[in-house]
Amino acid sequence: MPRRSSDPAGHEPSCLYPDEAEIARAVLGPGRAKAWPGLAVVLERGGFPALI
């Protein structure tokens, strides 16, 4: 049985430490990835880990 992905875009990171653009595509999907920088700022205020 194929593994079911919880990722709506069907995208899996290509490496252990994906860059911000790849995280954006995985979390939001390719159509909304450009919204990631603003969303990341809001999430970081709530405790989401910041990129170092």
> Mind giving me the DSSP string for 20-42?
HHHHHHHHH-TTTGGGHHHHHHH
pLDDT digit string, tens, across residues 2-52: 544 554 546 677 788 888 888 888 888 989 999 988 988 998 999 988 876
Strand, helix or coil for residue 24: helix
Say yes or no to pLDDT of 1 above 90.
Answer: no
